[in-house]
Amino acid sequence: MAERHLGQRSKKGAERWKKHFERQKELHRQIKAAAGEDILKSRNFRTTREHIQHGNMTVNNHCMNVAKYSLAFSDKLHITCNRKELIRGALLHDYFLYDWHDEEHVKLYRFHGFRHPGVALKNASQDYRLTEREKDIIRKHMWPLTVVPPMCREAWIVSAADKWCSLMETFHMHRGHGALLQKLRTKREEEGDR
């Protein structure tokens, strides 16, 4: 009897895992369709894999998570929006291209929350063709720190997803590979000193 119950639980767990895996696969497909030709392939966007965001999460992982959660929030809450612009804005919302934890950015550290949306928008505008909606997402994702509230649904969704992901990362409920990257960087620097 207990074995049968255990088998049913294992089967349910496997079904849940399969459903989760299929959902993640579909989210990746949507992200790739919306941004695969320019953003995901660009050298600058790939450099976000080298910078730590919150906890041990890289900026790249954080932005990918924000894009996925933005899509999930939109679906779960039945919010009609432009999904392509939602994804692209989410991927570029933290496109500031520096590690705000580095010593050279210590002065920025105190004001990072206020300043980085403008830096991200400037960088993204130089590297990609952005719509007004995508610009609004990037510029206002830190609301209320940005003072002026978002002007479109997509920006509100990304702002909420960003706050959720940041909270989960800060409390180490979402984990990235940032600690491993930091170890590799330190090892490279040590080998370079020899």
pLDDT per residue over 50-69, tens digit each?
A: 887 767 788 899 999 999 99
pTM of the model: 0.79
Query: What is the rounded average pLDDT of the residues 122-147?
Result: 92
Per the structure, the complete domain to which residue 128 belongs is given by 2-193
Complete DSSP assignment for 20-70: HHHHHHHHHHHHHHHHTTTTTT-HHHHHGGGSB-STT-BHHHHHHHHHHHH
Q: Provide the pLDDT for residue 176.
A: 55
Query: For residues 158 and 118, which has the higher predicted lDDT (pLDDT)?
Result: 158
Type and span of the H or E element at 122: helix 112-127
The tally of domains found in the chain comes to 1
